[in-house]
Amino acid sequence: MNGAFEIISGLFGGMAVFIFGMNMMSECLQKAAGEKMKQILALLTRNPVMGVLAGALTTAVLQSSSATTVMAIGFVSARLMTLPQAVSIILGANIGTTITAQIIAFKLSDYIYLILFAGFAVSFVAKTEKLKNTGQTVFAFGLLFLGIETMGDVMKPLASSPFFMELIAKVADTPVLGVLAGTLMTLVVQSSSATIAVLQNFASQAGPDGVTSVLGLAGALPILLGDNVGTTITALLASTGQAKDAKRTALAHCIFNLSGCFLFIWLIQPFAAVIRWLTPGPEVEVISRQIANAHTAFNIIMTLIWTPLLPFMVKVVTSLIREGKKAPEELSVPLYLDNRLITQPAAALQLVGREVIRCGEITDDMLRLLAGAVRADDTKLLAEITEQSAQVRRLNEHITEYLSDLFSAGSMTEEQANGTARLMYLLGDLDRIAFQGSEITDSLQTKIEKKYKYSKEAMKDLEKSLGLIQEMYGESLQVMRSGDTDRTKKIMKKKEKVFELNLEMRRAHLRRVNKGKCSARLTTPFHKILNTLDRMSNSCINIADAVTGQTDMGEMLPDVYRATGI
């Protein structure tokens, strides 16, 4: 009983250290190479082969197929990526994730503590964030192997247990049982890398003869197939509550692994023979590498099969998950933000960039309506503008809260944190413009209710001033979209025109009051509108300045966003 407890606690403890090390390494790699992810994703074109390459490289960098899968689902849900592009990335992620098993196959048990100490020392003395992340990555790498070593040590007694040997013989002789065992293991642990590490460690234990593996390659392969099936649950969970295309992406991941399992389960013996030929040597010594090679070969073969069939895959998942009736878009509800990407700031900030642009576009529409409402005396139109202003401000709050969550997650680099702070500054000016728009609407509403009569000249100048504000804001929005800071000069010139026009409007109003052409009681509400216009023009300048200050919204958007023409 005591021995069984030691084995179980050691197995789960070692697995906990392994998963913690793997997650820590993934997080540190994201900090160190997160910005490179955008360049990797920039490889993505309408060519599926490039999509597969992008998915494989991203997963190899992050050391997590789940992270890549969730990111692809988030992007397709946010309409920053098309369904075929997302599916091609998923195919590549399945290849990239095999790197973990290949790393585990190296025998580094003699160097574990040296690796841990080196990583700790570098992290402890590092002065720069980049060097600190490097040290933490090395330390996490050591933890990963410490967990593997712990699991290997506690599993050694199992190799001499008659009951366990009989159980393993049944699994080895019945591939379906092996698939079910692998699937169940991955469902419980929620990490195919961890369960494959357990498989590699257990298979490395010698049988009664001391030469052959206790499990054998033919017995390990069905469990490996089950691990691949079980990992699709992560993608399905990530797609819950997401858009149809996100669910289709997750389903494509399932179809890929299920079809591979169904194909290879009939080819266990010949596939094992090929792997043995590719990785010869005493079974106990090389079986860990054989399992890693089998994992890599399985995913490469299935990717080669499915890449030319990508249109068929898309057609299948689209027919299985049909489009429902589209709900009307609620302006104040974020379309692109995805809480599942909070721990992946390089990807999350791209979604934030798209949401900020959307917020800016809604504000632009509000200003266009406002410019047309000056002489309309239409209370319904003014109510629509007021509601639109409120929706922009609520959306702004959602974005700000999301950025705050990104900060609190602690996964950002210093550069990303600085960019996020600038984004918040920019959002503040968008919020002010929306609020100032509602102030002008209130003044116009008061004008209608109290039946104030401004002169035709005053209304014409006011309309002209609002038109200039709209043009200024339109230029600022283009700077946000493209990062074209040359437009800032045009905005400054328009700012001068607004200032001069507003100054002349104040003078003209006082002249009309002096001549009795305009009521003196209109001076306060009229000047209030002009003061608000001045503040709106200042906010337009602030937005352009924020972008000029290296918050390039064009760079924050992924290249795939431009590629898809969204």
Q: Give pLDDT tens digits for 410-426.
A: 777 777 777 788 788 88
pLDDT for the residue 234 = 62
pLDDT in tens, 148-204: 777 767 766 655 666 556 666 666 677 888 888 888 877 776 677 777 877 887 777
Query: Computed from CA positions of residues 414, 417, 423, 428, in that sequence, does the dihedral angle turn out positive or negative?
Result: negative
Which of the pair, 52 or 76, is modelled with greater confidence? 52
Neighbours of 562 (CB within 10 A): 14
Is 565 a residue whose pLDDT tops 50?
Answer: no
Contact 466, 375 (CB under 8 A): no
For residues 48-73, give the mean pLDDT.
Answer: 76
Query: Which segments of 243-378 does DSSP mark as H helices, in order?
Result: 244-264, 268-278, 283-306, 310-320, 345-373
- Mean pLDDT, range 267-274, rounded to an integer: 89
pLDDT recorded at residue 301: 92
Distances (CA, A) of 28 to 20, 124, 190, 419: 12, 15, 20, 19
Q: What is the pLDDT of residue 327?
A: 46
Confidence of residue 559 (pLDDT cuts 50, 70, 90): very low
- Measuring CA to CA, how many Å separate 37 from each of 32, 137, 146, 346, 421? 10, 17, 29, 7, 21
Residue 358 has pLDDT above 80, yes or no: yes
Q: What is the pLDDT of residue 429?
A: 86
Higher-confidence residue of 238 and 418: namely 418
**358-365: average pLDDT:** 87
**206 three-state secondary structure:** strand
pLDDT in tens, 434-454: 888 888 888 878 777 777 777
Most distant pair of Cα atoms in the chain: their distance: 114
Q: Which amino acid is at 382?
A: L
Helix, coil or strand: residue 211: coil
Retrieve residue 360's tokens.
């800016």
Q: Phi and psi for 309 in degrees, rounded to 5?
A: -95, 15
Average pLDDT over residues 217-236: 81
Q: Which DSSP category does 156 fall into?
A: G
- Is 70 exceeded by the pLDDT of residue 520? yes
Higher pLDDT, 328 or 290: 290
Which one, of 283, 276, 286, 399, lies nearest residue 337 by Cα? 399
d(C-alpha 494, C-alpha 500), whole Å: 10
Residue 401 has pLDDT above 60, yes or no: yes
pLDDT at res. 562: 40
